[in-house]
A and B are shown apart, each in its own frame.
Chain A
């Protein structure tokens, strides 16, 4: 097309060979002071110890769980019985876990993304932004028993009566709905933190590129920023989900802690959501040797299943965290 010449450039020097490989002897700690060497040894030992403990827990649960876990447990309803054989399986707690997890996630996801977007993209006035930020952080540090007590307080009022059973004008205040709503506060900080980090990692020139094409701020957020942080949203949601299904106190206080899902009224799904039930954690709690039912074999089996679910969630988080690192601007 044109005959212009580009200026000749010096040839790039060849890349150094064995780049990244260590050359020469390692720095030895033998020349260090004794206290430094002891410190290093201690750090090393503690690190290994930590791994050993973590592995021990998993192995213990796996061994115990596999010993008592029959596939039929997964699709049998719990029954009231004095023997472990006769107590049925944990289908209802498994479904309960799924139900409260989905409820809390479908609330925490949109709310968390909204808060994160507001914090990063707007954040004005600054004082309010700081307040919101510290509130979310405080929420992450609040013991869930406090949240549960607070939940008891608000959900026993008439206004929120439609969320649980009403008997003779008295609001019961315990249901899958209510537990799910309170668990929103457990999941929320993880969603906010992860999405916020994801948004902050987007270079400013990407936003400006969108503005420079005549796009409004809201179009930029909707069409550029939110698609960019999709992996972060998934990661944060899965982290939140993991913590939601691991929570026990809110379930015990706000879900009624009945072994089976006891629906209210005649509407099929809504009735179950308004009714009481239990989750894997409360099922384990009740069946543990110190619990009301004392069926340790079932507790081990359920704990193993719960562990598998959490590990699977972590795997998903890992995959999406890696994917979000893959496609990046220079």
Chain B
């Protein structure tokens, strides 16, 4: 009922933009589906004259994409409660895929199913198929899968040991012979460099990781996840516990990382999703409502529910 009311409403008067306002209401006049997506680096608003999000996309180079994972008709239930309903998605290297949607819409559950972390919940059950480079992930050892699909969490959670050991922990296999510190050093420094943390910590690699700032801790967690040389990097609201400066550093990092790994990021922050994502999936009540390029989804959503969510009608 609400939806039809909204549709019949007159376009809202154009309001003056004030900094700090995050979302603008969307004109109710629908755009024809053939409107081309805006150029990269521009706000989608410029094409329609009314801004939707007051932020600019992070600059990026266009890189070739490689299909990494396919989510195929996946449904996940906790006991009797269906959390994800028949979702299908491609996950590609060279792209940042953002999962957006209101709380409890199943986006984190979907993300955790990509490295079978959902299996840690006793009541969770999954149907459908997820493939990694063509292999069904259900046939892989969980530890093998999770080395190829690593994850960074909402709270920065470095292990209570030195910065060096946090990374070295990932590099050490479960073998009887443990490699010496010196042998691991290049790999540790490489991982830190890829996460853009090396310059800041290279002189204090033996300091406790928990003494780093929140943003540094989160980049250490990203470095740790990269140290396993994964094909896919999962990020579960990695910036929600961080300040704006640290968030910006991590956003830039994520956009750069998509050249070497497929990146999937769950975020509540629509501005952030628009800034960094190449493709965006909007989920609502466990369903994948809309999937498309970030420019198209934010600039010209096909679904009314997406439009309402992005324009702040609910969420």
Contact = CB atoms under 8 A, between A and B. Distances in A.
A227 B160 contact: yes
Contacts of B144: 214
The dominant DSSP class at the A interface is loop
Contact of A6 (B153, B154, B248): B248
Given A205-B154, A209-B153, A4 B59 contact: yes
Interface in B211-233: 211, 214, 221, 224-225, 228
Given A6-B248, A7-B20, A227-B161, A213 B146 contact: yes
A214 B146 contact: yes
Interface stretch (B30-38, B49-57, B295-303): B49-57
B150 interface: yes
B252 A2 contact: yes
Contact of B143 (A6, A10, A215, A327): A215
A10 B20 contact: yes
B252 A6 contact: no
A18 interface: no
Contact of B59 (A3, A9, A10, A210): A3
B143 A214 contact: yes
Interface string B236-273: 00000100110110001001100000000000000100
A228 B157 CA distance: 12
Given A4-B275, A5-B55, A206 B157 contact: yes
B12 interface: no
B153 A205 contact: yes
Contact of B58 (A2, A8, A214): A2
Nearest to B249: A1
B304 interface: no
A224 B210 CA distance: 13
Contacts of A10: 20
Interface in B139-173: 142-148, 150-151, 153-157, 159-161, 169-170
Contact of A212 (B146, B155, B160, B255): B146
A167 interface: no
Contacts of B57: 4
Interface in A187-214: 203, 205-206, 208-214
Given A227-B161, A330-B214, A7 B252 contact: no
Contacts of B93: none
Interface in A221-251: 223-224, 227-228
B147 A214 contact: yes
Given A7-B54, A224-B159, A227-B160, A213 B224 contact: yes
Given A6-B248, A329-B155, A213 B225 contact: yes
Given A206-B157, A212-B115, A9 B20 contact: yes
A4 B153 contact: no
A41 interface: no
B19 interface: yes
A48 B120 CA distance: 51
B233 to A, nearest CB: 10
A146 interface: no
Contacts of B159: 206, 209-210, 223-224, 227-228
B181 to A, nearest CB: 15
Contacts of B271: 7
Nearest to A216: B143
A328 B54 contact: no
B153 A208 contact: yes
A205 B237 CA distance: 13
B244 A9 contact: yes
A2 B143 contact: no
Contacts of A329: 155-157, 210
Nearest to B234: A212
A2 B254 CA distance: 12
Contact of B210 (A5, A8, A327): A327
Given A4-B275, A9-B20, A208-B117, A213 B157 contact: no
Contacts of B161: 227
Contact of B151 (A9, A212, A224, A330): A212
Given A206-B157, A211-B120, A2 B150 contact: no
A10 B22 CA distance: 12
B228 A214 contact: yes
B312 interface: no
Interface in B53-74: 54-59
B102 interface: no
A219 interface: yes
Contact of A223 (B147, B169, B234): B169
Contacts of A208: 117, 120, 151, 153
Given A3-B59, A7-B20, A328-B210, A213 B170 contact: yes
Nearest to A209: B157
Contacts of A224: 159, 169
Given A4-B57, A224-B159, 9 more contacts: A205-B157, A212-B117, A213-B146, A213-B151, A213-B225, A215-B169, A327-B160, A329-B155, A330-B214
17 contacts: A3-B56, A4-B58, A4-B275, A6-B245, A7-B20, A7-B22, A8-B19, A203-B157, A205-B157, A209-B153, A209-B224, A211-B120, A212-B146, A212-B225, A223-B169, A228-B160, A330-B156
Q: Which 3 A-B pairs have the closest CB atoms?
A: A214-B147, A212-B151, A214-B146
